[in-house]
C-alpha cells in the first residue's frame, strides 16, 4: 500500500494517544467518551493535509481488511458531499476550504447536522478510529484553546470544579510536532473536511 502519510505522523499519533491515555486515567468518571457516544461525530470541522493523508491510509487499510465496510464508508461520504456541495465554503470540486474571512464565517454554519461518514450509524463507532484526525483525538478532555481557556466537551466533567478540570488538562503536542510535519508537506495550508477525503 502506497502512503502519502509522512513517517513522523506515527510518532505524533503515539504522543497524542499517550497524552489522552494519561488524561483518561486522571479524569476517570468525568470523561464521558466511550463507544456509542457520538456527540462529537456530528458537524463539519476543518482537517489538515496531514489528517487527510492519515485518513486516506486508514481508508486503504479498511478496503484491504473489510471491503464491504469500506464501501459503506465511501457511500456515506459521497452522499454527504452531494448533500452539502452547493453550500461548501470553498472549492467543492477539490474539497478545499476557503481561507478568506467570508468563507471562514460561512463554515461556522456549514453541515452542522451532518454525521461524519466514518461513523457507523449502527454501532455508534468510528470505522477509521485508528486513523482519525487530531481534532477527534483531543475532543473531550480539557485542552487549552487559542483564547487561553480550557475547552471541554459539554458531556464531560459534569459537576466537576474548575480545579478538577484543570488537573486533567491535556497537552497533546507540547513540542508542536504536528506543525513541524505540516511545514514539510506540500499544500500545507489547504484544509478540507473528512467527507471530501473519503468520497474520492
pLDDT per position as a tens digit, 44-93: 999 999 999 999 999 999 999 999 999 999 999 999 999 999 999 999 99
Q: Which domain holds residue 185?
A: 8-199
Are the C-beta atoms of residues 166 and 42 closer than 8 Å to each other? no
Question: Distance between CA atoms of 129 and 194, rounded to whole angstroms?
Answer: 13
- The residues pairing with 36 across neighbouring beta strands, listed in sequence order, are none
Q: What average pLDDT does this structure show over 25-35?
A: 93
| 79 in any annotated domain | yes
Question: Distance between CA atoms of 158 and 167, rounded to whole angstroms?
Answer: 15
State how many domains the chain has: 1
| 195 in any annotated domain | yes
**Can you state the angle between helices 49-65 and 67-84, rounded to 10 degrees?**
140
The answer, yes or no, to whether residue 40 has pLDDT greater than 80, is yes
| 1 in any annotated domain | no
| 67 in any annotated domain | yes
∠ Cα 108 112 115 (to 5°): 140
* pLDDT 10s digits, 103-154: 999 999 999 999 999 999 999 999 999 999 999 999 999 999 888 889 999 9
| 3 in any annotated domain | no
pLDDT for res 74: 98
The answer, yes or no, to whether residue 1 has pLDDT greater than 60, is no
**Residues with Cβ within 8 Å of residue 19, at least 6 apart in sequence:** 170, 171, 172
CB atoms within 10 A of CB 69: 14
| 2 in any annotated domain | no
| 164 in any annotated domain | yes
| 126 in any annotated domain | yes
Amino acid at each position: 500500500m502506497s502512503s502519502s502519510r509522512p513517517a513522523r505522523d506515527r510518532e505524533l499519533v503515539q504522543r497524542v494517544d499517550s497524552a489522552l491515555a494519561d488524561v483518561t486515567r486522571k479524569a476517570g468518571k468525568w470523561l464521558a467518551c466511550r463507544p456509542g457516544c457520538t456527540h462529537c461525530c456530528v458537524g463539519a470541522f476543518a482537517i489538515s493535509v496531514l489528517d487527510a493523508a492519515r485518513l486516506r491510509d486508514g481508508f486503504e487499510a479498511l478496503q484491504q481488511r473489510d471491503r464491504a465496510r469500506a464501501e459503506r464508508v465511501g457511500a456515506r461520504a459521497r452522499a454527504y458531499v452531494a448533500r452539502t456541495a452547493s453550500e461548501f465554503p470553498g472549492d467543492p470540486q477539490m474539497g478545499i476550504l476557503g481561507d478568506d474571512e467570508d468563507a471562514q464565517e460561512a463554515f461556522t454554519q456549514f453541515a452542522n447536522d451532518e454525521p461524519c461518514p466514518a461513523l457507523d450509524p449502527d454501532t455508534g463507532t468510528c470505522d477509521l478510529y485508528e486513523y482519525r484526525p487530531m481534532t477527534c483525538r483531543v475532543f473531550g478532555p480539557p485542552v487549552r484553546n487559542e483564547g487561553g481557556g480550557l475547552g471541554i466537551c459539554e458531556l464531560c466533567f459534569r459537576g466537576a470544579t474548575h480545579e478538577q478540570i484543570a488537573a486533567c488538562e491535556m497537552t497533546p503536542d507540547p513540542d508542536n510536532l504536528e506543525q513541524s510535519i505540516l511545514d514539510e508537506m506540500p499544500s500545507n495550508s489547504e484544509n478540507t473536511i473528512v467527507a471530501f477525503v473519503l468520497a474520492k
